[in-house]
Amino acid sequence: MKLVRLAAFAGLFFAATAEAQPVPSPLYRMETSVSLLSTDTDWDYVKFQPGSARLFMARIKDGLTVFDADTNRSLATIANSSGANGPLLLPDHNRGYVAMDDGSLLSFELDSLKLINRVVLTKDGGLNSGILDRATGRIHFITSSRPVESTWFTLNPATGKLLSQIRFPFRKMDDPAGDDTGHLFAPVRYDQMVLQLDARTLREQARWKVGCNVSKLRYDNRSQRLVGACGGDQPSVFILDPKIGKVTARVTIGKGIDAMIIDRTRERIVTSNGEGSMTIIRYDGGDGLDVIGTIPTRVGARMMDIDQRTGKLYLVSADSTIFPTKDGAEAVTRYHDDSFRVEVYTPL
């Protein structure tokens, strides 16, 4: 009888304890989904014009589409922008530049969206994307994957004039991050390392192994740390302290990352993953990382950006059919017409 009473008491105790546990609140909810006219095409970078409602979406064959986040509608497609891969938006110069998949660089007026020019920078493949280095006031555009070398093209942001180009002995280099004091930090994806470069000369000053295929990198001025993200078979987000050249924290994320944002207001890092998920990470600006949630999304929704005015996340995707091939060749993906979507997630 005593055993029965003890068991009953223990059950009540643990039930009460379980009831006392706080229930986590949802992190985001999908606010809306907007379908746009589209063809059988992939897409790449989507970027907000700083301080505005305009989201520029590089939709490869469908060109660079401008989407209004306040009205949730498409505004325009930049002329002659078929092949758009990575936009760079410079309000201080009233210029937009677009890395194109044929190796050319497109430029347009940011206020009017009027085409300025499209010039060939390389003929051996496409350009991936570009960045502005605030320390030097120059912009850099980088080639997409190559068999042996990557090339950086350095230009004047006000005129688009080519200033120089330099080759690096790496197959794939992604967007570098600057500390605004004279250093650029460049991810070298397949070599699993980060380079520290002199921002003016682009000469290598240091290199650090990070143990995974690093493709995204941000410099946090507050903590003087680098926040990086890796895809491949070790998907993760990590913190790298460039003062000591060490990875100081790492957490696992979903597979197929292609975008990462830092929401400083909510002290979060969010990655969008091609498997069909967003990984939400608590980040206080130091060496601590903690995964606090995973949100299912559409398969293929690997690209996103944050509207810094509202904290809303904008993900893009499209319906597709994947066809098997023979002899171990890569499967063929065909995207369905008029199925491209912009999906908006609101922070809670």
21-30, 241-250, 310-319: least confident range: 21-30
Instruction: Enumerate residues 6+ apart whose C-beta is below 8 A from 165.
Output: 121, 151, 152, 153, 154
d(CA 154, CA 163): 6
d(CA 48, CA 28): 19
Confidence of residue 330 (pLDDT cuts 50, 70, 90): confident
pLDDT at 273 over 80: yes
Calculate the alpha carbon distances from 123 to 81, 102, 162, 220 in Å: 17, 7, 16, 35
Nearest C-alpha neighbor of 177 from the set 236, 235, 220: 220
Q: Are 98 and 84 in contact (CB under 8 A)?
A: yes
d(CA 260, CA 268): 11
Quick one: pLDDT at residue 285?
Answer: 87
Nearest C-alpha neighbor of 100 from the set 70, 135, 125: 125
Average pLDDT over residues 330-342: 96
pLDDT tens digits, 204-228: 999 999 999 999 999 999 999 999 9
pLDDT tens digits, 146-198: 999 999 999 999 999 999 999 999 999 999 999 999 999 999 999 999 999 99
Domain coordinates in residue numbering, the chain: 41-173
Quick one: pLDDT at residue 247?
Answer: 98
314 or 2: which leads in pLDDT:
314
Quick one: pLDDT at residue 328?
Answer: 78
pLDDT at 20 over 90: no
Helical segments of the chain, H only? 2-20
User: CA quadruple 264, 269, 271, 277: dihedral positive or negative?
Assistant: negative
pLDDT at 12 over 70: no
pLDDT tens digits, 287-307: 999 999 999 999 999 999 999
| DSSP state, residue 287 | S
Q: Is the pTM of this model over 0.95?
A: no
Confidence of residue 6 (pLDDT cuts 50, 70, 90): very low
d(CA 282, CA 139): 32
Instruction: Say how many C-beta atoms besides its own lie within 10 A of residue 42's C-beta.
Output: 16
Give me the CATH code for the 41-173 domain, please.
2.120.10.30
